[in-house]
Every structure is written in structure tokens, then in C-alpha cells.
């Protein structure tokens, strides 16, 4: 049996949130608390799968939405699987803290790339000493209306094999209390090598060049008194190939990130790209077992990231190439930061829950 858990760590730091608002409540005369995403991980319990739905985001009050569907080998039509998840967030309370939350929703074509300018009103943020923005979650779904050229022999709801995805939240500029920023990203559907794949995916492979997909990106704009220290890292590793191969996550040392994230503050995820490619050809994608990126304060900041295909049958010999851009928001003045780490498991589909009551699935 897999039991969910919630871990809280209190530090003498400042809190940040996910709902348009300032750090002070006129009604109660007290500082408001805000939530900022600090990382996530999805891991299928049994097999790797196509990606039909992948979803993880937090709301202003810290409510978590987690969703995953992996084709008919996860839904019970052929086989049944469930996902184990981890989500970390910072709950921040501080004077001079102004926080707003927004999302970008769009449909992307076969190339999967997008870049959009968005605006968000955050009352009071013009008075903040500094301003930044952070990634708050995402949703990728293959189950959407397709064009007239899409093949009729493949159901887009079954999903596709992939080479990974990534998202970037640009630095905001202010005009009064209105923040303007760029949200960009890419999702990479890619066919499997039919010579290596024991499942006949010729129908899926034929549909990928025409596939339309839904994408949502969630972001948080943060005004604060303090200093932002950014750090960027990248790495590459060739995973072993076989059956349930050991494919451990990469860390801040692998990525070359040596960021001092100690003291009063909280981590933010500014950008990430998790690229999974065949070691012999950039043409092929694969089924995904796990993916995620997780941050934790410290000296240095702890960063772990993964995207794996470890499974009973691993079709491709894959190379994992992550690129991440993180930051440490160091706060001035009196502040409190609570780190909330939530873990659990759920069946396929999308579910929402509070950090202290995550779902669980019994595994046989």
C-alpha cells in the first residue's frame, strides 16, 4: 500500500502566494499568505506510457490539481496503471509582498512551439521593491479537435510518444500595477521506431505530423522587498537500456548549479526544458515513465530533475538533456516561509485536493 504524506518545514522566512493580492489584508489588519510552486514529480507505478494528459498546477490557496492519462495501457482498456506524485510549494507571508496568478491557454500545432505576451493586474505591485515571475504549473492534452488532414484511423485521446517538453516564464515589466511578461514553451510529440517497438504504432506515427494539442501554462507574478538570485544549468546523460533500467534523477551538481539558497527566502522555477531523445537518432520519441523538477532551499539549492522511460520494455535507448533556470528570492524584513511537501497517488484522470489531504491508491 502506498500512503500519502504531507511534510511541513517552518523557516524564519517570507511567504508567497497564488492569487492576485497584496501582502496585507485591510479587513483583518494582518499579512496575507501566498503560495509559490517549488516543484513536482509524476511517476507511473508500473509501465511507461504515451502522453494523453499531463497536468500539474497549484491555485492561489495552495490547492493542487494533478492529472495524467497514458493511453489504453493505462486506462484499463488493455491494462491499468496509476501515478505516484510529489508536489512542493512555499507558503510565504511577508510585508511588501504582492502576488498575482494567471494562465495562458492555447492550442498548438504539430511543431509544438509557442510564445505569447500576457498581462496581469496585481493590485499594489507598483509599490514593490523588486518584481519577478515564476512557473506555477502546466497542462498538456492530446484530446482536442483535429484538422481535416488528421488521419481517421487514430484517436487523439490515446496520446502520443514524446521527446519531452518545457516552459519559460519571462521576467515581467510593470506599468503601474499591470505586469507584462512572455510565456513560451514547446511540447515534442515524436514517433517510435517501429523496428524497435513491439506494439504496432504506425497509426499513431502517421497522426503525429498533424496533431493539434491543448496547452495551459500557469504563472505567478511576485512583487517583493529583497533580492532575486538566478542560476541556470544543463546536462546530458545516456540512460541504460533494458528492462526497468536504473535511471536516477540528475541533481544540481550534474547541472552545474551552485546557488546559495540559505536564509530568509524561497525557491522559484523560472524555466525548464526536459528533452528525451534517442541516442542514435533525433527522430524517435518514446513512452514516458516519470518526469519532474523539484527545488529545495539550502547551501547550495537542491535541484533534482528527471524524465525517464524505465519500464518492462524500453523501446528507445534514450538520452536525457535537461535545461533549467531557477531562482532564490531572498526577502528583507520580517517574514515567514513554510515549505509544504505533498505526496500520494491517484488513478488516471484529473483530481484536485488540498496539500494536507492528498489522495492515495492501494497497489496490489
Q: Are 244 and 311 in contact (CB under 8 A)?
A: yes
Query: Looking at 17-26, 180-189, 198-207, 235-244, which range is the least confident one?
Result: 17-26
- Indicate the SS3 state at residue 157: helix
pLDDT digits (tens, 9 = 90+) for 16-59: 333 455 554 444 458 899 999 999 999 999 999 999 999 999 99
Question: CA-CA distance, 282 to 306, in Å (whole number)?
Answer: 19
Q: Are 350 and 67 in contact (CB under 8 A)?
A: yes
Q: Are 15 and 92 in contact (CB under 8 A)?
A: yes
Cell of 328: 532564490
- Indicate the SS3 state at residue 210: helix
Q: What angle do CA 324, 328, 330 make, to 5 degrees?
A: 170
Question: For residue 126, with 0-12 CB atoms within 10 Å meaning exposed, 13-18 middle and 19 or more buried, which class applies?
Answer: middle
pLDDT digits (tens, 9 = 90+) for 128-139: 999 999 999 999
Question: CA-CA distance, 209 to 215, in Å (whole number)?
Answer: 17
- pTM for the whole thing? 0.92
Q: Are 33 and 21 in contact (CB under 8 A)?
A: no
Residue of 96, 138, 94 lying closest to 272 (CA atoms): 138
pLDDT of amino acid 80: 85
Mapping DSSP onto H, E and C, the string for 9-31 reads EEECCCCCCCCCEECEECCCCEE
pLDDT digits (tens, 9 = 90+) for 219-263: 999 999 999 999 999 999 999 999 999 999 999 999 999 999 989
User: Residue written as cell 484536485?
Assistant: 352
Residues in the chain: 364
Question: Residue 148: pLDDT above 80?
Answer: yes
SS3 content of the chain, % helix, strand, coil (to 5): 5, 55, 40
How far does the chain reach from its first CA to its final CA, in angstroms? 7
Amino acid at each position: 500500500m502506498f500512503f500519502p504524506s504531507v511534510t511541513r518545514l517552518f523557516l524564519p522566512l517570507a511567504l508567497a502566494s497564488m492569487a492576485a493580492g497584496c501582502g496585507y489584508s485591510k479587513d483583518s489588519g494582518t499579512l496575507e499568505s501566498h503560495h509559490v510552486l517549488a516543484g513536482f514529480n509524476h511517476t507511473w507505478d508500473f509501465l511507461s506510457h504515451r502522453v494523453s494528459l499531463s497536468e500539474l498546477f497549484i491555485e492561489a490557496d495552495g490547492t493542487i490539481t494533478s492529472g495524467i492519462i497514458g493511453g489504453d495501457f493505462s486506462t484499463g482498456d488493455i491494462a491499468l496503471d496509476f501515478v505516484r506524485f510529489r508536489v512542493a510549494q512555499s507558503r510565504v507571508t511577508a510585508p511588501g509582498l504582492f502576488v498575482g496568478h494567471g494562465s495562458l491557454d492555447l492550442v498548438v500545432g504539430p511543431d509544438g512551439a509557442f510564445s505569447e505576451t500576457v498581462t496581469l493586474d496585481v493590485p499594489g505591485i507598483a509599490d514593490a521593491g523588486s518584481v519577478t515571475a515564476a512557473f506555477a504549473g502546466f497542462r498538456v492534452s492530446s484530446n482536442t479537435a483535429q484538422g481535416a488532414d488528421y488521419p481517421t484511423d487514430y484517436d487523439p485521446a490515446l496520446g502520443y510518444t514524446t521527446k519531452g517538453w518545457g516552459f519559460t516564464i519571462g521576467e515581467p515589466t510593470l506599468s503601474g500595477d499591470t505586469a507584462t511578461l512572455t510565456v513560451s514553451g514547446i511540447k515534442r510529440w515524436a514517433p517510435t521506431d517501429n523496428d524497435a517497438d513491439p506494439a504496432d504504432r504506425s497509426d499513431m506515427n502517421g497522426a503525429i505530423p498533424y496533431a493539434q494539442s491543448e496547452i495551459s501554462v500557469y504563472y505567478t507574478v511576485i512583487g517583493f522587498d529583497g533580492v532575486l538570485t538566478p542560476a541556470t544549468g544543463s546536462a546530458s546523460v545516456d540512460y541504460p537500456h533494458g528492462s526497468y533500467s536504473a535511471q536516477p534523477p540528475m541533481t544540481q551538481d550534474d547541472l552545474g548549479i551552485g546557488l546559495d539558497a540559505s536564509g530568509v527566502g524561497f525557491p522559484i522555477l523560472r524555466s525548464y526544458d526536459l528533452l528525451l531523445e534517442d541516442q542514435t537518432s533525433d527522430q524517435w520519441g518514446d513512452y514516458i515513465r516519470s518526469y519532474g523538477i523539484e527545488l529545495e532551499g539550502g547551501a547550495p539549492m537542491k535541484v533534482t530533475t528527471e524524465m525517464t522511460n524505465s519500464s518492462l520494455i524500453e523501446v528507445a535507448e534514450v538520452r536525457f538533456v535537461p535545461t533549467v533556470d531557477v531562482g532564490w528570492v531572498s526577502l528583507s524584513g520580517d517574514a515567514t516561509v513554510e515549505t509544504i511537501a505533498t505526496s500520494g497517488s491517484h488513478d488516471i484522470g484529473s483530481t484536485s485536493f488540498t496539500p494536507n489531504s492528498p489522495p492515495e491508491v492501494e497497489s496490489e
